[in-house]
Amino acid sequence: MRHARSGKKLGRDSAHRKALYANLAGALIEHGRIKTTVTKAKAVKPIAEQMITLGRRGDLHARRQATAFLRSRDVVHKLFADVAPLFKDRPGGYTRIVKLGPRQGDAAEMAYLELVDEEYVATQRDERTPDPVAVAEPAVEEAEAEADEDAEPELDAGTDEGADDGDDDAGEADEPQGLDEAGAEEAPADPGKSN
């Protein structure tokens, strides 16, 4: 019997489970929000909050404890430098679980595990999400505007020339220079050659 044994086994042995918790907590600290199953989210939530509490303490021993669990100095640095100061006045409850419904493939209940600081989560999401649509639209509009501007002066210039002249000399002007009336090219005369 497992009386007084807290936590879920999640179908893994202890080393695999500990690595899973470290990876999920590190991803939560790094990105501000992760999408996982409800069971995993409930299992990792207390661990993530414990890591944030270590970050709030901020001393060397707390940093070493966080590094021992999270196994990444970059994540620990972000925890102590960026995440923990957001919660310096909050005595607990740093994360929340938002249920999303069943997953398509196996109908597992999915959820977001996210930090309660909405501004931080939004900034992390914006940093990860490129915005190609907003960049592409002005370029297309500018190209269309330039094409319209280029087309209008050409039409005006063509109509002005035809209206002002009124002569039938326009046909002669279309002939390329250097051609005689028969259409053959005039060869430049070389002084060294005689015909």
Ordered by start, the domain boundaries in the chain are 14-117, 130-163
Q: Give me the residue label for tokens 């879920």.
A: 8
Across all residues in the chain, what is the average pLDDT?
A: 82
Instruction: For residues 71 and 35, give the distance between their C-alpha atoms in angstroms, rounded to a whole number.
Output: 21
Instruction: For residues 161 and 19, give the distance between their C-alpha atoms in angstroms, rounded to a whole number.
Output: 80
Taking the model in full, what pTM does it have?
A: 0.63
pLDDT confidence bin for 111, thresholds 50/70/90: very high
Between the alpha carbon of residue 128 and those of residues 3, 64, 87, 121, the distances in Å are 44, 29, 23, 11
Determine the average pLDDT of the residues in 48-73.
Answer: 96
Q: Does residue 35 carry a pLDDT above 90? A: yes
Listed residue (149, 159, 115) closest to 25, CA to CA: 115
Q: What are phi and psi of 96, to 5 degrees?
A: -145, 155
Q: What is the pLDDT of residue 62?
A: 97
- Which amino acid, residue 53? T
Q: What is the pLDDT of residue 38?
A: 97
Q: Does residue 162 carry a pLDDT above 90? A: no
Question: Does 2 or 56 have the greater pLDDT score?
Answer: 56
Helix (H, G, I), strand (E, B) or coil at 37: strand
Q: What is the pLDDT of residue 171?
A: 52
Q: What is the pLDDT of residue 63?
A: 97
Question: Does 70 or 4 have the greater pLDDT score?
Answer: 70
Contact 49, 94 (CB under 8 A): yes
Q: What is the pLDDT of residue 1?
A: 86
Q: Does residue 95 carry a pLDDT above 60? A: yes
Helix (H, G, I), strand (E, B) or coil at 147: helix
Determine the average pLDDT of the residues in 147-154.
Answer: 61
Q: Does residue 94 carry a pLDDT above 80? A: yes
Q: What is the pLDDT of residue 25?
A: 97
CATH of domain 14-117: 3.90.1030.10
Instruction: For residues 156 and 48, give the distance between their C-alpha atoms in angstroms, rounded to a whole number.
Output: 70
For 75-135, give the DSSP string: HHHHIIIIIHHHTTT--S--EEEEEEEE-TTT--EEEEEEES-HHHHHHHHHHHS--HHHH
